[in-house]
Amino acid sequence: MTACLTGAMVMVIEILGARIIGPFFGVSLYVWTALISVTLLALALGYAAGGWLADRQPSAALLYGLIGLAGCWLILLPGFKAPVLEAAMPAGLRLGCFIAASLLFGIPLFLLGCVSPFLLRLAALDLTRIGRTAGLLYAVSTAGSFVGAAGTGFYLLGSFGVIATLRLSGAALVLLACAYFIRARPGRALLLAAGLVPLAWTLHTTLEASTADGTRARIVWARDSFYGALKIVEYQGNGIRTRELTIDGLIQGGIDTQNGQSIYEYAYLLERLPLALRPDGRSALMIGLGTGVAARALAAHGLEIEVVEIDPQVHAAALRHFDFPPGIPVTIEDARTFLARGTKRYDYLLIDVFNGDTTPGYLLSREALRAAKARLAPGGVLALQPHGQRRSRGRHVARRPRDSRRAVPHRARPACRRQGRCRLGQLRGSGQRRGGRLRPDARLEANPSPGRRSGNLAGRPGSCNTTHQGHASDRRFQPPRPARYPAQGIGAPGVAGNNPTVDPARTPRQPRLAGPSRAGAARAPGDRPVCTNGAIVAGHD
């Protein structure tokens, strides 16, 4: 029983590790390489240390004490994983993954690695049968690993979610240790049970905290899903109250609860830029729901909009806490299968599904972009929201414009500039595009309708050059200067997010396309837009 359960827990930790690290670093080859490397290294050290301890003190009490410690670590891990992952992110994708995996999972894997040598030492009563004993022990442990891998991937994650599965795994190890001590040493079992009472209490406390300036933060909703731990955090201070959706600690979006408008800049850009490129569009498909702010805004413009979202819990959160209209159709499905099986075409196709510090390659591959192109109407607009910094993502991001060039007729290339954590992109191409075009005097309004209170657009001062089809003048997109809440701390300070927070209480400053900044910076007449802050937009003839 002990060999089977501990063998299963090794695979459970390895599979859950990808789900825990993924939101910060992406579920990429580097993440799996780091997890497998840490697992093998920790088990190797555990085998060596376990054999040494088993020879010095062949005690079953010590063995089950180590198992109980591993279980306690897994139970407590959800409480400290976010700070560890944030601290590891500056080290970069490769080293950061390895550091995070080592700090989070190295200790429990090391403790579980000590189990096999202990069991072999305790079971080897007859040296003439030690080969058979070792073979049976390893067979049972490996069978447990098979059950743990299959059960976690096929059942536990879908039924209970990441955090609940992790805590159930830890609880199983703790109960195994308690079962031994209850049978062998009842006194120590009572002491262990007394120590578990405060541990269990911490799992049911509701987070509510306040900062020195009086800003209060509390979790108003929390769910575990197959794709991560969802939380809705509400911040209140100086008469301002905001609400944000996070998945595994990463901000997915937020609103000002007084008016329901987004407090993040990218939502306005994702809404307004496609409309500026194609003012006469009538239908839109949005891949990735989030808080539903962008989809709700597009529906307010009179567009016929559909949404594809892979996580049903995200849809439930948007309906319950972010005023998402229930009348907007939402399909719970993987975006790739939805694009492949359908035939309906849309004037706008918006992709905002990224989570973590890398983009999901399966949605930005050449094949995925071709599938997206097939769902665009003539003159349609494809808009992407690429997260992350160019410096940390480098060649992975640089490949995507080449893929988009092969999939859609208008070539995209990075503008080699950064603005906080927002990517800047520039698109050009040739050929006559149907539909509207950006005029030299065009203005992109952040506020969807006059008189409606909306969030200030924020970002670091900066600009990028754009050229418009049929116009030789060089123009600049000038984002406004940063605006912060009067109460510091609103906007989940210390939690890694993809966009800066903004002040929803002040009058919005609209991003604008300014006049010519450099005379004579002429380009070919076939060049066309677009510079965006956090969005890449492409056209389809």
d(CA 473, CA 466): 9
The count of domains in the chain is 2
CATH code for position 357:
3.40.50.150
H/E stretch holding 449: none
Which pLDDT does position 197 carry in this prediction? 55
d(CA 297, CA 277): 17
- Give the number of other Cβ atoms within 10 Å of residue 90's Cβ: 9
Which pLDDT does position 278 carry in this prediction? 87
- Whether the CB-CB separation of 401 and 416 falls below 8 Å is answered with no
Which pLDDT does position 77 carry in this prediction? 92
pLDDT bracket for residue 13 (50, 70, 90)? very high
- Whether the CB-CB separation of 49 and 114 falls below 8 Å is answered with yes
pLDDT bracket for residue 393 (50, 70, 90)? very low
Same structural domain, 408 and 527: yes
- Whether the CB-CB separation of 477 and 454 falls below 8 Å is answered with no
Residue 540 pLDDT > 90: no
Question: Distance from CA of residue 21 to its chain's centroid?
Answer: 9
Same structural domain, 147 and 248: no
- Report if residue 216 sits inside a domain: no
Same structural domain, 415 and 283: yes
What digits encode the pLDDT tens for the residues 223-273? 888 887 888 999 888 788 899 998 877 788 899 988 888 888 878 888 888
Domain boundary pick from 151, 184, 202? 202
H/E stretch holding 416: strand 410-419
Same structural domain, 248 and 198: no
Pairing type for strands 304-309 and 283-287 reads: parallel
Which pLDDT does position 189 carry in this prediction? 59
Domain boundary pick from 202, 224, 252? 202
Which pLDDT does position 104 carry in this prediction? 95
Domain that includes residue 514, residue range: 244-540
How far, in Å, are 115, 278, 466 from residue 477 at the CA level? 61, 18, 7
Same structural domain, 128 and 248: no
How far, in Å, are 28, 501, 503 from residue 244 at the CA level? 26, 11, 14
- Report if residue 27 sits inside a domain: yes
- Report if residue 59 sits inside a domain: yes
Please state the rounded mean pLDDT for residues 145-169.
89
- Report if residue 286 sits inside a domain: yes
Same structural domain, 377 and 517: yes
Highest mean pLDDT (candidates 90-104, 259-273, 414-428): 90-104
Residue 511 pLDDT > 80: no
- Whether the CB-CB separation of 473 and 462 falls below 8 Å is answered with no
Residues of the chain with pLDDT > 70: what percent? 63
Which pLDDT does position 30 carry in this prediction? 87
Same structural domain, 281 and 158: no
What digits encode the pLDDT tens for the residues 348-372? 999 888 655 555 777 878 888 888 8
Which pLDDT does position 359 carry in this prediction? 58
Name the pTM for this structure: 0.63
d(CA 474, CA 59): 77
Domain boundary pick from 137, 169, 202? 202
Query: Which residues lie below 8 Å from residue 351, measured CB to CB, with a gap of 6+?
Result: 287, 288, 335, 363, 372, 382, 383, 384, 385
Same structural domain, 86 and 179: yes
Residue 499 pLDDT > 60: no
- Report if residue 55 sits inside a domain: yes
Pair of tokens at residue 228: 């991560």
What digits encode the pLDDT tens for the residues 440-483? 333 333 333 333 333 332 332 232 222 222 222 222 223 333 33
Q: Which residue has the higher pLDDT, 460 or 158?
A: 158
Question: Distance from CA of residue 479 to its chain's centroid?
Answer: 26
Residues of the chain with pLDDT > 90: what percent? 29
Same structural domain, 113 and 249: no
Lowest mean pLDDT among 44-53, 333-342, 461-470, 504-513: 461-470
Pair of tokens at residue 239: 């008469």
Lowest mean pLDDT among 184-198, 224-238, 301-315, 512-526: 512-526
Same structural domain, 288 and 174: no
What digits encode the pLDDT tens for the residues 40-72? 999 999 999 999 998 888 888 899 999 999 999
d(CA 351, CA 308): 10
Please state the rounded mean pLDDT for residues 95-113.
94
How far, in Å, are 341, 432, 438, 463 from residue 527 at the CA level? 34, 11, 12, 19
- Report if residue 141 sits inside a domain: yes
- Report if residue 447 sits inside a domain: yes
CATH code for position 114:
1.20.1250
d(CA 71, CA 74): 5
d(CA 461, CA 124): 70
HSE-CB of 477 using CA atoms within 13 angstroms: 27
Map 520-534 to HEC letters: CCCCCCCCCCCEEEC
Please state the rounded mean pLDDT for residues 318-322.
93
Pairing type for strands 464-466 and 475-478 reads: antiparallel
- Give the number of other Cβ atoms within 10 Å of residue 494's Cβ: 9
pLDDT bracket for residue 200 (50, 70, 90)? low
- Give the number of other Cβ atoms within 10 Å of residue 515's Cβ: 10
Same structural domain, 328 and 189: no
- Report if residue 211 sits inside a domain: no
Same structural domain, 198 and 252: no
